[in-house]
């Protein structure tokens, strides 16, 4: 038998050698077998190609003939949408539970990636082929994001891959029939014969970028995917300001021990009853709640001593002078006002008579934070001192006070439902009219169209790893379906690191407003808000306008981050997981507007535009 196979393979080899050069391009046969005098060596990488040849040469005929076809294959960045059918002749597929299909990627080094496919009825597949009812569950479809395909949501590892369809059919009382087969001729699905996209991954200590290239593999008649690593680095040690941000041993000693010692020594000085500090490690200028409270204090002509201690981010290095100045002011001020996370202050014991007031930037209570995340990825240690020394914190309603108390690790009686200062503009019609007029004057292309604003929160465990996977949006579909009636504004979270650029062919529809500081002003010209887990939905609900919650990863978010309320019943608008669902909601105007009024009633204590006054009256002036 072996001699007969060798003879046939030698004959095949001679025939293969007869391929000629055409148009100065040399064609060659990729040989999966190596023929020696008394043996055949099978290349492990070419096993799938070797078996059909061996079966043919040995006179073995496939007992079950595979039938398969890819009826739809499109790319959106690194996201592949695929649809088709696959069945074995004379093997019944009338029970969905007994059928399994997978898309299998096999690399040149033997790495195998197996992706389950969704089984669908053959009648739901877009094909004109006549297929017997006994193969009713032969259809399949799937959407695969190669940028988050691994268990750690990392991109497809660097390799060359060929794609195969894999089918298992369990026939009760008989056996399980298995078959793997290439995809077939899918070249016509690739524009210009290929598709390329970028894949990115971010954490605080890791920044990775890959290039994905999809081409047609002619010898195997399948799709070939190449993942190439372009970048793999620690962002904290790269860049022009890396040395400036680097903390040496002496700096760390000053930052931690000398700062703490200076604070303790300065606490011996008299407490200054009219000294007010605004301290932030997330903004370099006055804005948001800070600005509203500061302006209200100035408007009242109070004889207070104000100090603004602002930094752009927690990783921005403070000078030695700033460290000692901060310790002095914190130790002697009657009022210390924060608006976000401020790590240097948490180990300190606030002196009797002083107030550490947190004007948290978010409205309402949505995704869990702080000590509500104990035991979860990115959550704090039970021994952490973060937030615990607040003497007061504000919220929008008594209904959410318990959640903030839990998140901050403080008693609920320290959480005061004053309302959130920066929401006061939602009750100021004159302010809104001025904002709209100014925006239309500055951006005249916004006139005459309805405005959709896309304002999602970031992904990642914090500022150092913040990113957003823009590939989940199908820009082409949104453009063609909505461009006649709408314009689409991007308001991406300022923490997001990955770069995003609007394709020039869509520049009359998409506009990037991410650098526009005050998102609330943009809400006044917005007709439809698209968000996900961002607290911007609370402010926008005050306008009683439609919103869509584009939560493509809601299951993953519930598992790793979780919410204070059931997500589906909480959101004051429809849930969309795909671009197609978003478009359908917009075109049908199915916004579930009836959910907005009870949402506002629950999450806002007072609807009078006087939250800033209550903060000043209840937390500052009354204390004096």
Mean pLDDT of 545-569: 89
Query: 166 and 288: one domain?
Result: no
What lies within 8 Å, CB to CB, of 534 at 6+ separation is 366, 455, 456, 457, 493
C-alpha separations of 266 from 75, 259, 262, 332 in Å: 62, 11, 6, 7
Query: 302 and 434: one domain?
Result: no
Query: 220 and 253: one domain?
Result: no
Total-model pTM? 0.78
Query: 306 and 357: one domain?
Result: yes
**pLDDT on residue 59:** 43
Confidence of residue 182 (pLDDT cuts 50, 70, 90): very high
In a domain, 43, yes or no: no
Query: 405 and 447: one domain?
Result: no
Query: 491 and 397: one domain?
Result: no
Cβ proximity of 571 and 549 under 8 Å: yes
In a domain, 418, yes or no: yes
Query: 402 and 463: one domain?
Result: no
Interval 326-374: pLDDT, tens: 999 999 999 999 999 999 999 999 999 999 999 998 898 888 889 998 8
What would the DSSP string read from start to end of 352-377? TT-EEEE--S--S--B--GGGGTTST
In a domain, 46, yes or no: no
Interval 120-171: pLDDT, tens: 999 999 999 999 999 999 999 999 999 988 877 889 999 999 999 999 999 8
**pLDDT on residue 478:** 96
Interatomic CA distance for residues 212 and 55, integer angstroms: 35
Which among 52, 612, 624 is positioned nearest to 288, based on CA atoms? 612
**pLDDT on residue 28:** 28
What's the burial of 188, exposed, middle or buried (CB within 10 Å: 0-12/13-18/19+)?
Answer: exposed
Cβ proximity of 521 and 431 under 8 Å: no
Query: 289 and 436: one domain?
Result: no
**pLDDT on residue 474:** 93
Interatomic CA distance for residues 52 and 412, integer angstroms: 71
**pLDDT on residue 559:** 80
pLDDT of 461 above 80: no
pLDDT of 22 above 50: no
| CATH code, domain with 466 | 3.40.50.12580
In a domain, 459, yes or no: yes
pLDDT of 13 above 90: no
Residue after which a domain boundary falls, among 211, 233, 255: 233
**In the 3-class helix/strand/coil scheme, how is 565-617 assigned residue by residue?**
CCHHHHCCCCEECCHHHHHHHHHHCCCCHHHHHHHHHHHCCCCCCCHHHHHHH
Phi, psi of 49 (to 5 degrees): -80, -30
What is the percent of the chain where pLDDT is above 70? 87
**pLDDT on residue 135:** 95
**pLDDT on residue 191:** 87
Identify any residues that bridge with 276 across adjacent strands, giving them in sequence order: 306, 335
In a domain, 32, yes or no: no
**pLDDT on residue 542:** 97
Q: Give 399's DSSP letter.
A: G
Q: Give 325's DSSP letter.
A: H
Interatomic CA distance for residues 417 and 399, integer angstroms: 9
Confidence of residue 255 (pLDDT cuts 50, 70, 90): confident
In a domain, 6, yes or no: no
**pLDDT on residue 560:** 78
pLDDT of 20 above 60: no
Angle at 388 between CA 387 and CA 391, to 5 degrees: 95
pLDDT of 433 above 50: yes
Average confidence score pLDDT of the chain: 86
Residue after which a domain boundary falls, among 176, 203, 233: 233
Query: 266 and 410: one domain?
Result: yes
Interatomic CA distance for residues 522 and 461, integer angstroms: 27
Which among 468, 472, 470 is positioned nearest to 496, based on CA atoms? 468
In a domain, 58, yes or no: no
| CATH code, domain with 267 | 3.40.50.11820
What's the burial of 214, exposed, middle or buried (CB within 10 Å: 0-12/13-18/19+)?
Answer: buried
Mean pLDDT of 229-241: 71
- The neighbour count for residue 297, using CB atoms within 10 Å, is 21
**pLDDT on residue 612:** 97
**pLDDT on residue 162:** 93
Interval 28-67: pLDDT, tens: 224 455 545 566 666 666 665 555 455 544 544 456 789 9
Query: 77 and 192: one domain?
Result: yes
**pLDDT on residue 16:** 37
3-state class (DSSP) for residue 124: helix
Q: Measure CA of the first residue to CA of the last residue in the chain; give whole Å.
A: 101
Residue after which a domain boundary falls, among 233, 262, 288: 233
3-state class (DSSP) for residue 262: helix
Identify any residues that bridge with 170 across adjacent strands, giving them in sequence order: 176
Domain count, the chain: 3
Interatomic CA distance for residues 586 and 594, integer angstroms: 16
Least confident among 69-78, 230-239, 496-505, 576-585? 230-239
What would the DSSP string read from start to end of 187-235? GGGSGGGEEEEEEEEE-SS-EEEEEEEEEEETTTTEEEEEEEEEEEE-G
pLDDT of 102 above 60: yes
Interval 561-603: pLDDT, tens: 788 998 988 999 999 999 999 999 999 999 999 999 999 999 9
Interval 373-432: pLDDT, tens: 887 777 888 899 999 999 999 999 999 999 999 999 999 999 999 999 999 999 999 999
Phi, psi of 449 (to 5 degrees): -130, 155
Strongest mean pLDDT among 16-30, 454-468, 572-586: 572-586
Q: Give 488's DSSP letter.
A: E
Interatomic CA distance for residues 202 and 458, integer angstroms: 11
Query: 324 and 473: one domain?
Result: no
**Higher pLDDT residue, 215 or 316?**
215
Query: 211 and 305: one domain?
Result: no
Mean pLDDT of 92-116: 89
In a domain, 111, yes or no: yes
Its domain, for residue 589, covers 429-608
């Amino acid at each position: 038998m072996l001699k007969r196979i060798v003879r046939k393979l030698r004959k095949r080899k001679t025939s293969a050698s007869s391929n000629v050069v055409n148009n100065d391009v040399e064609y060659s046969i990729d040989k999966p077998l190596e023929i020696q005098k008394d043996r055949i060596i099978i290349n492990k990488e070419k096993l799938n190609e070797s078996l059909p040849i061996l079966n043919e040469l040995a006179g073995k005929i496939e007992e079950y003939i595979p039938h398969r076809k890819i009826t739809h294959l499109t790319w959106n960045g690194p996201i592949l949408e695929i649809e088709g059918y696959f069945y074995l002749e004379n093997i019944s597929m009338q029970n969905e539970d007994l059928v399994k299909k997978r898309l299998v990627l096999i690399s040149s080094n033997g790495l195998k990636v197996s992706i389950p496919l969704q089984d669908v009825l053959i009648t739901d597949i877009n094909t004109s082929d006549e297929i017997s009812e006994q193969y009713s569950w032969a259809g399949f479809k799937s959407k695969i994001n190669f940028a988050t395909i691994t268990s750690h949501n990392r991109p497809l590892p660097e390799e060359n891959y060929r794609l195969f369809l894999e089918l298992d059919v369990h026939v009760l009382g008989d056996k399980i029939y298995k078959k793997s087969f290439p995809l077939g001729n899918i070249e016509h699905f690739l524009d210009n014969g290929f598709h390329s996209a970028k894949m990115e991954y971010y954490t605080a200590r890791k920044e990775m970028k890959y290039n994905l290239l999809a081409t047609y593999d002619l010898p195997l008649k399948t799709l070939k995917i190449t993942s190439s690593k372009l970048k793999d680095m620690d962002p904290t040690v790269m860049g022009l300001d890396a040395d400036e941000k680097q903390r040496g041993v002496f700096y760390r000693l000053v930052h931690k021990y000398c700062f703490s010692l200076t604070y303790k020594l300065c606490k011996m000085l008299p407490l200054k009853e009219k000294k007010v500090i605004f301290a932030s490690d997330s903004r370099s200028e006055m804005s948001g709640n800070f600005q509203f409270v500061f302006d209200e204090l100035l408007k009242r002509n109070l004889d207070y001593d104000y100090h603004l201690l602002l930094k752009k981010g927690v990783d921005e290095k403070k000078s030695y002078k700033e460290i000692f100045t901060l310790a002095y002011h914190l130790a002697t001020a009657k009022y210390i006002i924060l608006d976000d996370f401020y790590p240097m202050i948490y180990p300190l014991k606030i002196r009797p008579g002083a107030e550490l007031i947190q004007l948290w930037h978010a409205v309402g209570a949505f995704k869990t934070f702080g000590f509500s995340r104990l035991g979860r990825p990115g959550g704090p240690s039970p021994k952490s001192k973060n937030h615990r020394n607040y003497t007061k914190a504000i919220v929008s309603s008594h209904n959410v006070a318990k959640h903030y108390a839990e998140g901050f690790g403080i008693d609920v009686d320290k959480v005061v439902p004053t309302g959130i200062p920066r929401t006061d503009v939602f009750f100021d019609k004159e302010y809104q009219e001025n904002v709209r007029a100014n925006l239309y004057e500055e951006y005249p292309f916004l006139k005459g169209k309805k405005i959709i604003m896309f304002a999602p929160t970031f992904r990642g465990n914090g500022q150092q790893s913040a990113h957003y996977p823009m590939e989940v949006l199908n820009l082409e579909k949104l453009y063609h379906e909505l461009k006649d009636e709408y314009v689409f504004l991007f308001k991406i979270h300022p923490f997001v690191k990955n770069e995003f650029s609007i394709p020039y062919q869509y520049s009359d529809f998409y506009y990037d407003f991410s650098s526009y500081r005050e998102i609330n002003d943009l809400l006044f010209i917005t007709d439809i808000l698209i968000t996900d887990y961002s607290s911007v939905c609370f402010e926008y609900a005050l306008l009683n306008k439609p919103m869509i919650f584009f939560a493509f990863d809601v299951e993953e978010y519930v598992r790793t981050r979780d919410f204070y309320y059931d997500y589906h019943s909480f959101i004051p608008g429809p849930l969309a997981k795909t671009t197609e669902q978003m478009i359908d909601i917009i075109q049908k105007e199915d916004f579930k507007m009836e959910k907005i009024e009870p949402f506002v009633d629950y999450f806002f204590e007072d609807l009078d535009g006087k939250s800033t006054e209550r903060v000043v009256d209840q937390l500052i002036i009354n204390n004096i």
